[in-house]
Amino acid sequence: INLLAMSHFTFVLTTCATPPSAVSSYWSLMAPDGVRAPRAAPHKYPMVSMPEAVDVVLSRVVPLPPLQVPFTTALGLVLAHDVVAASPHPPFAASVMDGYAVRAEDCPGTLMVTGASRAGAPMPTRSGNGSVPGTFAAEGAGVRGELAPGEAAYITTGAPIPAGANAVVALESCDKLQSPFGAAVYVRDPVTLGAHIRPVGHDVAAGEVVVPAGQVVGPHEIGIVAMVGAASVSVHGRPKLAVLSTGDELVDLTLFAKASTSLTSDVAAATAAAAAGGQVYDANRPMLAAAAAAAGAEVMDLGVVADDPTALHAAVCDALRRGADVLVTSGGVSEGDRDYLKEVLLGNHGGGSVGGRGITGVIHFGRVMMKPGKPLTFAEVRHADGGSDAKGSGGDEGGGDGGGGGDGRTMLVFALPGNPVSAAVTFQLTVLPALRRLLGWRDPRLRRVHCVLGGGNLALDLERPEYHRATLHWTCRQGFDAAQRAGLGGAGWGA
C-alpha cells in the first residue's frame, strides 16, 4: 500500500482486486444465451492512470516568472535566484562570550584593564595624545584601541575584538583586582590563541550562497536573508487560483458568513428551506479554497454557478478576465444530461461571446482510472480570436496546444467531481503538484511511503485503484504504525 502524504491525513492508494483487462474482456464477451455482445464504442475520453494524469499536468505547467519583493514578504514563496552574501559574516572578529580580550602570550598573569569593547560600541581608538572616541570602520579606514603587552579590555558577546588582542577569557576564569594604577584582572590559567573568537567570515564567507534557488522561504530563511543584508529577494509569485462550484442544488453558506446581521435563526431557516427544495450547502468550494490558500495560492472566489452552459461560460471568461492562472471547479463534469462543463471548456457552449470575447480550449484528459474521482478533467483554455467560440484543438480532441488567438494567456482548468471526497482526493493528487510547480518547487510531486493498512481487509473496486483517507503515526522505535482509515461515514464522504 502506498501513502500519498498530506498535512493532516493521508490518502492510501490500494490496487484493484482483479486486473482491469480481465474484467473488461469478460464483460465484453458475455451476453444472454452465450451470444457474443457487440463491443461498446470507445469513450470520447479514454481513462488514464493517475501517474499518467500527473505527468500530463506537470508537462503543461512552468514556474511563474520571477519578481523582486521585500524579503519580509517572501514567506512561503520559492526563491527564483540564489541569495548570495555580499560581505562576510561576521564582518569583524567578534567575541563569543562576556569576558576580557587579552594577548594569549600574557596569560596567566595580572593585566591592566585599559578599555572596553561592547556590541555596537567598539573600543575607542587611541592617538599619541591619549584616548579619543572612535567608531567601527571598514578595514583600513581606522584602527581601534590596540592592546599593549600586559593589558586587557573588557568585552561583551558579539563585540569587535580590539586590535592587539588574540583571545578572550571568560569572566568566570578571571579575578578582578584594584591596583594603584587602576582596574586590573588576574587570569588564572594559560589561554589558547584565538580562544572564544569568531574570525571574519566564520559563519558566512563573502560570495557564499546562503539560500539556494528553489528553496521555499520559511522563518529561518527570512532570518538568514536579513543576516546577510539582502533587503529584497527574487521569488516566483503566488499563482492566482479561481474556484467555483456548479449545481442548482447548492446553497452558498458564505453569504451568511459575510452578512454582519446574520443570526443562527437565519441559517436554521435557510437550512430548512434548502432541504425542502432538495438543496444542500456547498462544502466543496470553501474546502478547495482553503486547500489552495494553504498551498500558497492567491484565491479568487467565483461563487456557485448554475447548471447552465451560458452561466458556466461566463464564469470561465470571468476567471480569464481576472487573470487566474488556475481555475478549479467541482461538479458538472460527469455523464449527466446537465453536465455541460467539458463542452464549455472546449468553447462549444455559451450562447455567444461574453464581453465580446469567447473561449477556446483543449481537454488533455477527461477520465482517470481511480476511485473516487473518475470524472476528473484537466484542460487549458484561453480567449478566442475575435470573440468567437472557436473549437479547441489538441489533447483528446486532436493535436495542438489548446488553440490559438486571444491574448495568448492560457489558464489551467481542473474540473473536479462534485462528490466532496472525490474533490478532496483529486485536488490533492493533481492540483497541488501543479500549484507547487507554478510556485517554483523543484520537486512538486507528493511524497510516498509504504505502510501496512490496519482495520481488516477492504472490499476493493474490481477495476479502479482506490484512494482511502487514513491517519499515519510514527514512533522512533517502531517506525510507522499500521495506517488507520479516517473520515466521515456514508456514501457521500466515503465513496
CATH number of the domain that 165 lies in?
A: 2.170.190.11
Question: What's the rounded Cα separation, in Å, for the pair 137 and 375?
Answer: 68
CB 236 within 8 A of CB 438: yes
What is the tally of structural domains in the chain? 3
Whether residues 367 and 299 fall in one domain: yes
495 assigned to some structural domain: no
Provide the CATH number for the domain around residue 348: 3.40.980.10
Whether residues 81 and 104 fall in one domain: no
CA neighbor of 291 nearest in space, from 410, 120, 390, 428: 428
Q: Is the pTM of this model over 0.75?
A: yes
CB 99 within 8 A of CB 107: no
The three three-digit cell numbers of residue 54, written as one number: 500527473
The three three-digit cell numbers of residue 342, written as one number: 467539458
Residues 6+ apart with CB under 8 A from 491: none
Whether residues 291 and 365 fall in one domain: yes
493 assigned to some structural domain: no
Provide the CATH number for the domain around residue 81: 3.90.105.10
- Amino acid, res. 53: A
Question: What's the rounded Cα separation, in Å, for the pair 163 and 139?
Answer: 12
Whether residues 421 and 305 fall in one domain: yes
pLDDT tens digits, one per residue of 12-45: 555 555 454 444 443 334 445 555 556 667 888 9
Question: What's the rounded Cα separation, in Å, for the pair 316 and 425?
Answer: 23
3-state secondary structure the chain: CEEECCCCCEEEECCCCCCHHHHHHHHHHCCHHHCCCCCCCCCCCCCEEHHHHHHHHHHCCCCCCEEEEEHHHCCCCEECCCEECCCCECCCCEECCCEEEECHHHCCEEEEEEEEEECCECCCCEECCEECCCCCCCCCCCCCCECCCCEEEEECCCCECCECCCEEEEHHHEEEEEECCEEEEEECCCCCCCCCEECCCCCECCCCEEECCCCECCHHHHHHHHHCCCCEEEEECCCEEEEEEECCCEECCHHHHHCCCCCHHHHHHHHHHHHHCCCEECCHHHHHHHHHHHCCCEEEEEEEECCCHHHHHHHHHHHHHCCCCEEEEECCCCCCCCCCHHHHHCCCCCCCCECCECEEEEEEECCEECECCCCCEEEEEEECHHHCCCCCCEHHHCCCECCCCCCCCCEEEEEECCCHHHHHHHHHHHHHHHHHHHHCCCCCCCCEEECCECCCCCCCCCCCCEEEEEECCEECCCEECCEEECCCCCHHHHC
The three three-digit cell numbers of residue 467, written as one number: 484512494
Question: What's the rounded Cα separation, in Å, for the pair 389 and 348?
Answer: 7
pLDDT given at position 88:
96
pLDDT given at position 385:
66
pLDDT given at position 253:
85
- Amino acid, res. 31: A
482 assigned to some structural domain: no
Whether residues 220 and 150 fall in one domain: no
Question: What's the rounded Cα separation, in Å, for the pair 277 and 281?
Answer: 12
Residues 6+ apart with CB under 8 A from 76: 216, 217, 218, 296
Whether residues 459 and 362 fall in one domain: yes
Question: What's the rounded Cα separation, in Å, for the pair 28 and 119?
Answer: 83
Whether residues 245 and 352 fall in one domain: yes
pLDDT given at position 150:
95
Domain range for 269 = 11-16+42-64+238-386+408-470
Whether residues 83 and 113 fall in one domain: no
CB atoms within 10 A of CB 284: 27
Question: What's the rounded Cα separation, in Å, for the pair 152 and 100?
Answer: 6
CB 288 within 8 A of CB 299: no
Whether residues 333 and 445 fall in one domain: yes
CA neighbor of 248 nearest in space, from 338, 337, 344: 338
pLDDT given at position 27:
38
Whether residues 171 and 302 fall in one domain: no
Whether residues 83 and 157 fall in one domain: no
Whether residues 267 and 413 fall in one domain: yes
pLDDT given at position 89:
95
The three three-digit cell numbers of residue 281, written as one number: 450547502
pLDDT given at position 260:
53
105 assigned to some structural domain: yes
Return the residue matching grid coordinates 529584497. 232
298 assigned to some structural domain: yes
pLDDT given at position 263:
59
The three three-digit cell numbers of residue 163, written as one number: 586590535
pLDDT given at position 243:
98
Which residues of the chain register pLDDT less than 50?
5-9, 18, 20-31, 127-144, 352-355, 386-406, 490-495
456 assigned to some structural domain: yes
485 pairs with which residues across the strands?
Answer: 470
Intra-chain end-to-end CA distance of the chain, in Å: 18
